[in-house]
Chains A and B, each alone.
Chain A
Amino acid sequence: MSTLIEASTDLALRANDLRVATTLGQEILHGVSFTLQRGRMLALVGESGSGKTTAGLACLGYFRTGLEHTGGTIELSDGTDLLALTDAGRRGLRGGSISYVPQDPALSLNPAMRIGTQIMEVLRVHGYGASEAERRERLADVLTDVGLPNDAAYQRRWPHELSGGQQQRVGIAMAFAFRPEVMVMDEPTTGLDVTTQALVLQTIHQLVTAHNVAGLYITHDLAVVSEVADEVAVMLSGRIVEQGPSDRVLHDPVHSYTRKLLNAVPDLAGRHHIGEVEAVTGALPIISRERAASARVATPEVAGTLLSVRDLRLSYGKNPVLNGIDLELGRGESLMLLGESGSGKTTAARCIAGLNGNFTGTVSLAGQTLAPGTRQRSAEERHRIQYVFQSPLSSLNPRRTIGESVEVPLHMSGSFNRKQRRALVLEALDQVQLAASFIDRRPGQLSGGERQRAAIARALVNAPSVLVCDEVTSALDVSVQASIIDLLRTLQVETGMAMVFVTHNIALARHISQRLAVLHAGRIVDLGTTDAVLENPQHSYTRELLTHVPTL
Chain B
Amino acid sequence: MKKIKKYIVATILSSIFTQQIFSQKVVLINGAGATFPYPLYSKWFYEYAKIDKTVNFNYQSIGSGGGIRQIIAKTVDFGATDGIMTQEQEKLAGEEILHIPMTAGAVVLAYNIPNFNQQLNLTAEIISGIYLGKITKWNDVKIKKENPDIDLPDKKIVVARRSDGSGTTYIFTDYLCEISKEWKTKVGKGTSVNWPVGLGGKGNEGVAGIIKNTPYSIGYVEISYAIQNKLFYAKVKNKSGKYINPSVESITAAIESKAKNMPKDFKVSLVDPEGENAYPISGFTWILVYKKQKDKVVAEKLIQFLKWAVTDGQKYCADLIYAPLSENLRKMVLDAINQIEY
Chains A and B belong together in one complex: no
